[in-house]
Structure 1
């Protein structure tokens, strides 16, 4: 790898703004994690925000390495992997938490299937 040449100012600013935006979004997700009270509220902040922060950082990485060396698609692949796996993992964690809370008799959000089923029955009559 050759030493990177100086980038134009507009490109430096663009990359810096994207990295700072990713860091700010990640900070806000962490703040939401601390501020929200229940697990069911708390699980959304880091999962959704982590994906957005990752995309900002991915764009900065893609632009920087494509401008200095060659087209860097590895950053895109990492961001796609995170965008696919984070929501799936969140769903599994939420289902496990709901199952555990229901087994322990705690108050949990109502089941959507029961809500929709009772709504459809009320509408038919």
Structure 2
């Protein structure tokens, strides 16, 4: 006996599918973070798990708890909006910071700043 026993089958199936989808996307983001070599490649992989993976898990949570509590649960919506706003901004700031650092060190792997000429 679990707390999810009152969940009907027609709702349990989509909840399970969203959980599997979200955990798979999060796993893919983790594998990409481990496998990719450069920092610039690595900043793209975790966003997959953070944005789409977390969204699928939050949808599953929203569906199941809204049914079990007999009211709409907005906690998941607030968490989802917060993740969708903060994740791209954080990745952009990390990428720009690394780019400025690498340009200051004179790394040959990064392009020159926009507007600079190499005559």
Same fold (TM over 0.5): yes
Q: Which residues in structure 2 correspond to 1:4-43 (within 5 Å)?
A: 6-43=6-43
Runs of 4+ in 1 over 4 A off after TM superposition: none
1:35-68 per-residue CA deviation (whole Å, 9 max, x = no partner) reads: 1110001110002331101110111011011111
* CA RMSD after TM alignment: 2.0
Deviation of the 1:4 alpha carbon: 6.0
Structure 2 length as normaliser, TM-score?
0.86
Q: Which has the larger radius of gyration?
A: 1
1:85-109 per-residue CA deviation (whole Å, 9 max, x = no partner) reads: 0000111100110011111111243
Deviation of the 1:110 alpha carbon: 2.3
Find the counterpart in structure 2 of residue 55 from structure 1: 55
Range moving further from structure 2, 45-54 or 28-37: 45-54
Find the counterpart in structure 2 of residue 74 from structure 1: 75
Task: Give the distance between the partners of 1:52 and 1:92, measured in 2 at CA.
Answer: 20
Task: Give the distance between the partners of 1:57 and 1:112, measured in 2 at CA.
Answer: 40
Task: Identify the structure with the greater helix proportion.
Answer: 1
For 1:114, what is the secondary structure of its paired residue? coil
Structure 2 stretches of 5 or more lacking a match? none
Task: Give the distance between the partners of 2:114 and 2:64, measured in 1 at CA.
Answer: 47
* Contact kept in structure 2, 1:5 and 1:68, CA below 8 Å: no
Find the counterpart in structure 2 of residue 122 from structure 1: none
